A = this chain, B = another copy of it.
Amino acid sequence: MRISGLAEVTGTSVATLKFYLRKGLLSSGRVTSRTGADYGEAHVQRVRLIRALTDVGGLSLARVALVLTAMETPGLRRTDLLAVSQLTLTGDGSEAETEDPGAESRARNWLGARGWRIDPRDPFIARLDRAWDACDAAGVDLTHERLDAYAVAVERIGAIDVAAVPAEPEAAVRQVIAGTVLVDVVLQILRRLAQQHVCLDEDSGAPPD
């Protein structure tokens, strides 16, 4: 199909597609004339993936480029996949990541007490410290007990995530990298719906109208 067809099928403007081409997010079509090129199913899939990651996942195009590069790197192991999926967390965390791995850390102490097996240099430990500090600064009472209760629920989520990784390598990459960011959004939505369910249940006992 021509670029106008690709635009129609994916619901994306030709200008946006040309922008993706210039940025190298989308590979060129097969050249058919001096000004025309032919696009196929692989291009449709790629555009849908980019749109899902940007529109729903909220990733910047720079971050989408990192994800796409990782997805095209052959022979990534599951632990590498996890490292790449961390790239997809919004916020760059650059300050946190320069932190001394030997420094006192409330998050590391809590993780140790919980018995989670985490690389002590993992940058997410410093990010958890930062998010915990932000809760304190905002007057959100995130006690150890509350964090422990969340951790029990999130252990189940992590196990579901890992169990959902398929054996076939390309599918695994897609599942882990795109799945981490898109399922974050699904989980945020479910959390708000679950809060409503719990509240309505408790406040009225009556079914919604």
Contacts and interface: CB of A to CB of B under 8 A. Distances in A.
A63 interface: no
A161 B193 CA distance: 12
A202 to B, nearest CB: 7
Interface of A: 45, 48-49, 51-53, 55-58, 78-79, 82, 85-86, 89-91, 111, 116-120, 122, 124-125, 127-128, 130-132, 134-135, 137-142, 146-147, 149-162, 164, 166, 171, 174-175, 178-180, 182-203, 207-208
Given A150-B190, A184-B188, A52 B158 contact: no
Contacts of A125: 193
Given A140-B174, A141-B164, A186-B135, A191 B158 contact: yes
Q: Is the interface of A mostly helix, strand, loop or mixed?
A: helix
Contact of A85 (B179, B189, B192): B192
Contacts of A86: 192
A193 B116 contact: yes
Contact of A117 (B51, B116, B201): B201
A42 B94 CA distance: 29
